[in-house]
Amino acid sequence: MGAVTSGTQSPTFEKVIGMALVDSAAAAIGTAIEIELRGSRLNAKVVPTPFYKRAK
């Protein structure tokens, strides 16, 4: 299905965020996916980038 390319704990969102390369069949915004993180499976969702836009 794909591979996680980066991830971290977000202090702004207070949750884990990440970037991944996924097959086109799973790349639609809003698609629910499952990822593996350090041996555990977690639910995730495809969202548009950027994750956050700072207010001016």
Residue 28 class from Cβ within 10 Å (0-12 exposed, 13-18 middle, 19+ buried)?
exposed
pLDDT value of position 33: 92
Domain extent listing, the chain: 2-45
pLDDT value of position 13: 85
Using the predicted structure, report yes or no on whether residue 12 has a pLDDT greater than 90.
no
Q: Could you read off the pLDDT of 16-52 as tens digits, one per residue?
A: 888 999 999 889 999 999 988 889 898 999 999 887 7
Dihedral (CA of 29, 27, 22, 36) sign = positive
